[in-house]
Amino acid sequence: MHHFQLRNNELYAEELKVSDLAEEFGTPLYLYSAATLKRHYQAFDSAFQGLDHLTCFSVKCNSNLGVLRLLNEQGAGADIVSGGELYRALRAGMDPRKIVFSGVGKQEHEIREALEADILMFNCESREELYLLNAVAEGLGRIAPMSLRINPDVDPLTHPYISTGLKENKFGVGMDQALDLYELARDLPGINPLGIDCHIGSQLTEISPFIETLDRLKKLYQDLLDRGINVKYLDLGGGLGITYAEEEPPHPSEFGQALTQALQDFDLTLILEPGRVIAGNAGILVTRVLFNKETELKRFVVVDAAMNDLIRPALYQAHHRLAEVRPQARTESEADVVGPVCETSDFLARSRRLPEVQPGELLAVFSAGAYGFAMASQYNSRPRAAEVLVDGDRAFAIRKRETYQDLTALEEGL
């Protein structure tokens, strides 16, 4: 359920007409719905009310300060994967005691910054990272709280580029190494092993891989207890999927129920790192049609948003629903919706049935609130789009559209 709906044949973002917003802020334009973000966060978080838990929003999926501030007000913590994301989370006013730091390649300065901020937990992914974490912590006279990221070798049944919990992936440490590394962590003076962590992938549409993972982690928890290591946190990562097209992912309440049941007898604080399920359907990308183009083989609709604005179709063959902002009854035919970037992979949709839209008309690309703007670039020297947060009948520019000057600012006066 989201707040981008048609009324009298006109697409609205909450109480505002998308066409008015496109006029005011220009296109391409990211629009987020505050009510949808809140609703998704609350639906997710309340699914775990039966458990001691902490919901850490995955900052990488949408790192806009306006979005982070809103989620902070709802009580969210943050899952970060870089010093830059730590900076953003703190700027948004997030409580460092609700921040967990994931990622396979943390740098020394990032570890130092996170220790100085006194975050809740480092999710470590290798022996060498443990040594570095220990050294930096000792240098600062601190003890780093640590969860080891386990690679449980479970197939999340999703796109290979967003599978992370298989043996062949770069993420985490295998079960075979885990016990040794926990014992090492216990013996290192700058580290306190406090948790077990994993994140098996993204856009999961089944609960079973999570439960399978949990079973393996519960066994590890027991093995650790047998060795006198008593962890307090279990971090199950993010990954719950959303509906882009026909997918039918489990509702967060179903997910919460399954995990609550599986963890009943465990005295652990559960950490969750949802991203897409909170922000994905809380945002759309609005784009204007530039040209129609017919070739011998195909119909192309050229629009002003491109792969630099939304790379998911090019990167993962992802499907995003597309619709007119002001639908009209017209003949439909199959078209590729493409942007101005000089790459054949620059498409928003391929072989999609679409009405015969005309230059100047607006299209909405749905489910663009996660991994949309956050993955945007200036490729082809295209200034990045503006981001606007709609709250009821009010609209807030939460990121200005970049200018040509922004493109070259860091290259001038050197």
Ligand X SMILES: *Cc1c(COP(=O)(O)O)cnc(C)c1O
Q: Which residues bind ligand X (CB under 6 A)?
A: 58, 60-61, 79, 81, 102, 199, 202, 237-239, 273-277, 370
Q: Which is nearer to ligand X, 58 or 281 (CB)?
A: 58
Query: Has 342 been annotated as catalytic?
Result: yes
| CA–CA dist 277, 238 (Å, integer) | 9
Single-letter residue type at 350: R
Q: Which is nearer to ligand X, 58 or 151 (CB)?
A: 58
Q: Which is nearer to ligand X, 136 or 370 (CB)?
A: 370
Q: Which is nearer to ligand X, 239 or 339 (CB)?
A: 239
In sequence order, what DSSP letters do the residues of 291-346 get, joined into one string?
EEEE-SS-EEEEES--TTT--HHHHH-----EEESS-----EEEEEEE-SSSSTT-
Q: Rounded to the nearest whole angstrom, what is the least distance from the CB of residue 261 to ligand X in the complex?
A: 21
| CA–CA dist 273, 357 (Å, integer) | 40
Closest CA to 233 of 274, 198, 260, 189: 198
Strands, E, within 134-268: which ranges? 144-151, 173-174, 191-197, 233-235
Q: Rounded to the nearest whole angstrom, what is the least distance from the CB of residue 216 to ligand X in the complex?
A: 17
Q: Rounded to the nearest whole angstrom, what is the least distance from the CB of residue 81 to ligand X in the complex?
A: 6
ω into residue 249 within 30 of 0, thus cis? no
Determine the Cα angle at 166 with ends 148 and 178, to 5°.
Answer: 30
User: Which among 56, 61, 198, 342 is annotated as catalytic?
Assistant: 342
Q: Which residues, in sequence order, are CB contacts of 103 under 8 Å at separation 6+?
A: 80, 81, 82, 123, 125
Q: Are 45 and 73 in contact (CB under 8 A)?
A: no
For 351, half-sphere exposure in the C-beta direction (CA atoms, 13 angstrom radius) is 2
Q: Rounded to the nearest whole angstrom, what is the least distance from the CB of residue 87 to ligand X in the complex?
A: 18
Q: Which is nearer to ligand X, 278 or 395 (CB)?
A: 278
3-state secondary structure of 254: helix
- What is the 8-class DSSP label of residue 410? G
Cβ-based burial of 409 (10 A; exposed 0-12, middle 13-18, buried ≥19):
exposed
Q: Are 188 and 234 in contact (CB under 8 A)?
A: no
Q: Which is nearer to ligand X, 272 or 286 (CB)?
A: 272
Q: Which is nearer to ligand X, 66 or 239 (CB)?
A: 239
| CA–CA dist 396, 174 (Å, integer) | 46
Q: Rounded to the nearest whole angstrom, what is the least distance from the CB of residue 14 to ligand X in the complex?
A: 23
Q: Rounded to the nearest whole angstrom, what is the least distance from the CB of residue 57 to ligand X in the complex?
A: 9
Q: Rounded to the nearest whole angstrom, what is the least distance from the CB of residue 25 to ligand X in the complex?
A: 26
**Residues labelled as active-site residues:** 342
